[in-house]
Each structure stands twice: as structure tokens, then as C-alpha cells.
Amino acid sequence: MKILKSDLNTRKLKVENDLDLWHLQQIVEPKDLVEARTVRTIFIRREEGKEKGKRKLVLLKIRVEKIEFEEYTRKLRLTGRIVEAPEEVQKGDYHTIEVGRGDLMEIGKDRWSQEQLERLKRATVRMEVLRDPRILEEFSVHCDKDDGLAVYGFEQVKSAAGYGAVKIVLIPEEKIREKNFEDMVKLVESKKGEIKLISKKDMAGKKFCNTYDIGAILRFPIS
């Protein structure tokens, strides 16, 4: 995620990947103001009644009431009443802004909490989908050697994280939306560990997820 503009109450962002959408789902709240370019059906009023017009790309601002992530389209759907719009769009009507990879959006809040600001920071600099296969290879080598520098399984990784032993934690990409895995991320980051998300789209990632579910490379053995 890129922060394009920042002031006291507003952040303008560019969404770069699915993980950004997960962070945004936790950041955006009801009553927030969200502005983005979105497709809206423009209705043309005639004497005999209202006719459906063309779908048009417009810049709208809504006051959010509902937030949901749609797995099929991989988009964050934000629904609320329109508060700012071009004159051909009726203010006060409901609209859903869909946010996906590559989209720009602006979020306005009465007050940003410290947790929301920290999450935004994590989204911009810390967490990413693993691209370097050597990290998975390193994890496998430690497992084969049984040298105590790799652990797997949720409880084992959590225990290692509590000791501050986790150098890199490896988490399946789809698991990051689960509450217990989010708590794991916070614990690892608080101990200066790195978070790498594993995608099942490649063979090595799929094998890791099916075999270990979650794993970690350690700074030092804990037993």
C-alpha cells in the first residue's frame, strides 16, 4: 500500500495487493468518509418518468455504513449514502464503492486511532507475499536437520514468538483474515520478526501450506 497524502483526518491511499484490502477492512469503520472513482448508473429524467441511463465512471464520496470483502472478485465493498458527487448524481442515495488492486481511495475519519495508524504503517512497509523461494528452502533445510531453528504448527510458532525467537513467520495468505493469526502477526512484529505470506498459486507454496500450515524460521533454538 502507498500513502499518497496524509493530514490530520484524511489519508489518500493506493491499493497494491490483496493484503492491503485485508488491512483496509480492519481500518475502515461505519461513519468514515470514503472517496474513490466508481462506476454509477446515471438516470435520465424525462417527462414520462425516469429512464435508465449509461454507466459512468464518477468520483463519489460516501459515508460508510457497511464493509465487506468479496472473495470471488477479491474486492472490498464499501456501502453508504452519497455525500459528495457530480450534479448528475443524487446525493443521499446509497452506493457501493468497490476497491481492488491498483485503485486509489481517500479515507476520512473524525479521529484516527493509534492502532489504525500502526496498521497502516505495517501495510506499507512490513508484510508481503513471499517472492523469494530460498526462504522456504531455508525452512525445509532446518526441518530436515532438526537443528531447532524451524518450528511449525500454530501453538509451536506462538510459543517461539513469545520468546522473541521468531525471525521469519510463514503464514498461508488466506489465513491472515483469521483473528488468531492476526494476533500472531502482532506478537511476531512486536518482537521485530518478519511476516511472509505464502501463496498456494505456486507449487512450493501449496506444498508448504498443505504440509505445515504455518511455520517459522528461528533466531535461536528454544528447546
CA distances from 76 to 29, 71, 86 (A): 13, 9, 23
Q: Is the pLDDT of residue 116 over 70?
A: yes
Which CATH topology does 2-112 take? SH3 type barrels. (2.30.30)
**Among 74-83, 191-200, 214-223, where is mean pLDDT lowest?**
191-200
Neighbours of 133 (CB within 10 A): 11
Cα distance between residue 216 and residue 169, in whole Å: 4
Which of 97, 107, 94 has its CA nearest to residue 24?
Answer: 107
DSSP per position, 133-151: HHHHHHHHHHHHHT-SSEE
Which of 30, 26, 4, 6 has its CA nearest to residue 15?
Answer: 4
**Among 37-41, 68-72, 105-109, 110-114, where is mean pLDDT lowest?**
68-72
Q: Is the pLDDT of residue 23 over 80?
A: yes
Look up residue 127 and give its amino acid: M
Each domain of the chain, given as residue ranges in start order, spans: 2-112, 128-218
- Specify the pLDDT at position 48: 63
- Specify the pLDDT at position 52: 64
- Name which residue leads in pLDDT, 191 or 84: 84
Q: Is the pLDDT of residue 115 over 70?
A: yes
* CATH number corresponding to 128-218: 3.30.1330.30
Phi/psi region, residue 135 (left: phi>0; alpha: psi -120 to 50; beta: rest), is alpha
Q: Model-level pTM?
A: 0.74
- Specify the pLDDT at position 179: 78
